[in-house]
Chains A and B, each alone.
Chain A
Amino acid sequence: DTAVSQTPKYLVTQMGNDKSIKCEQNLGHDTMYWYKQDSKKFLKIMFSYNNKELIINETVPNRFSPKSPDKAHLNLHINSLELGDSAVYFCASSPLLGETQYFGPGTRLLVL
């Protein structure tokens, strides 16, 4: 029944590790996004895929790599985790580019 889901909801890991966050939407949307919300609650777009094609690639360290195996999934892989990567990461989807976005529940990442 869930529209946009993310796993895991919480992720605690050591510096230097590699981790992935998965996102799935069952809304039939063409476009998916990754956002980072920092400790001050500021939301910043990281990536966007439209029909499995990378559309938005903001100034993000290349340790972050998105992967979209199909329209319904957009995963985020992070290499060599750093303390500053600690944040809440949100996945979102929209029917088309530029349309209303629907968010997942977020993944709280804590790097120790």
Chain B
Amino acid sequence: AQTVTQSQPEMSVQEAETVTLSCTYDTSESNYYLFWYKQPPSRQMILVIRQEAYKQQNATENRFSVNFQKAAKSFSLKISDSQLGDTAMYFCAFIAPHSGTYKYIFGTGTRLKVLA
């Protein structure tokens, strides 16, 4: 069975600092995608970043980057120059498109608070 684990229920960071959110997953699939979604207090689920398992290069989107360690099944999110607007729940998600299940597997989320 595929699982996604986010071991940090809550984190805080000072504005302008860098923070890393952890995510580990378990799968026997070789082809899969990993995602980070952000859910601010407005509750909208916003796609932050996506990583294809076959790509060795870590994905980057502006201040957001990932550290994808395929052998270790680890997919952490680094937020640089944290801003107050980054305060949100962050969910790690996994999908194996050829596994036949077609389902996102979500982690339990990390609540991030950016402090002024």
14 sample A-B contacts, Cβ–Cβ < 8 Å, listed by A number: A40-B108, A41-B109, A43-B91, A43-B106, A45-B103, A45-B104, A97-B102, A98-B98, A98-B102, A99-B97, A103-B44, A105-B42, A106-B45, A108-B43
Q: Interface on A for B, CB 8 Å cutoff?
A: 31, 40-45, 48, 50, 55-56, 88, 90, 92, 97-103, 105-106, 108
Contacting residues, chain A, for B96 (C-beta < 8 A): 98
- Of the candidates A42, A50, A56, A99, the one whose C-beta lies within 8 Å of that of B103 is A56
Contacting residues, chain A, for B44 (C-beta < 8 A): 103, 105-106
Nearest residue (CB) in B for A90 is: B45
Determine if B47 is an interface residue (Cβ-Cβ < 8 Å). Answer: yes
Contacts A97-B97, A106-B43 given; does A56 touch B91 at CB 8 Å = no
Contacting residues, chain A, for B77 (C-beta < 8 A): none
Contacting residues, chain A, for B47 (C-beta < 8 A): 100, 102
Q: Are B108 and A55 in contact (CB under 8 A)?
A: no
Identify the 3 closest CB pairs spanning chains A and B, nearest first: A98-B97, A103-B45, A43-B106
Q: Are A100 and B35 in contact (CB under 8 A)?
A: yes
Contacting residues, chain B, for A106 (C-beta < 8 A): 43-45
Contacting residues, chain A, for B102 (C-beta < 8 A): 31, 48, 50, 55-56, 97-98
Contacting residues, chain A, for B91 (C-beta < 8 A): 43
Contacts A43-B106, A45-B103, A56-B103 given; does A100 touch B50 at CB 8 Å = yes
Determine if B95 is an interface residue (Cβ-Cβ < 8 Å). Answer: yes
Nearest residue (CB) in A for B32 is: A98
Contacting residues, chain A, for B106 (C-beta < 8 A): 42-44
Determine if B21 is an interface residue (Cβ-Cβ < 8 Å). Answer: no
Nearest residue (CB) in B for A31 is: B102
Q: Are A88 and B97 in contact (CB under 8 A)?
A: no
What is the distance, in angstroms, from A2's C-beta to the closest C-beta of chain B? 11
